């Protein structure tokens, strides 16, 4: 997405009522995020070959993306020509200002 991209009109999407006043435009549609997440899963499976995958989730912010990514990796693992072991771990990080 280029810096000069203006995004999409919010009226093209189903926006929860509590976000309507705060949201002006949508820059990245959910479908595009899902597509890129699936592509990332395919790239990970291709790059890892038959090596063990250790997936580390940063809690409080990344759990939804992490779950979606793992779902795609698991689907590729089950339906692909190879299967690799996956270990899942979680870490909680605190930021200090």
pLDDT of residue 37: 93
pLDDT of residue 63: 86
Token pair listed for 11: 């009226």
| Contact between 48 and 84 (Cβ < 8 Å) | yes
Q: Cβ of 44: how many Cβ atoms within 10 Å? A: 16
Question: What's residue 87's pLDDT?
Answer: 93
Torsion over CA: 71, 37, 96, 18 (sign): negative
For each of the domains in the chain, give its residue range(s) and CATH number, in order of start.
Answer: 8-92 (3.40.50.2020)
Q: Is 32 buried (19+), middle (13-18) or exposed (0-12) by CB count in 10 A? A: exposed
Beta strands in 1-93 (DSSP E): 8-9, 25-26, 53-58, 86-91
Provide the whole-model pTM: 0.72
pLDDT mean values, one per 10 residues, the chain (97 residues):
79 86 85 91 89 88 89 88 86 77
């Amino acid at each position: 997405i280029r810096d000069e991209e203006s995004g999409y009109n919010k009226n093209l999407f189903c926006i929860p009522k509590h976000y309507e006043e705060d949201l002006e435009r949508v820059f990245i549609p959910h479908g595009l995020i899902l597509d890129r997440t699936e592509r990332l899963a395919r790239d990970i499976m291709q790059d890892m070959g038959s090596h063990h995958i250790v997936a580390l989730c940063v809690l409080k912010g990344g759990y939804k993306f992490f779950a979606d990514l793992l779902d795609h990796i698991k689907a590729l693992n089950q339906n692909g020509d190879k299967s690799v072991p996956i270990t899942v771990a979680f870490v909680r990080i605190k930021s200090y200002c």
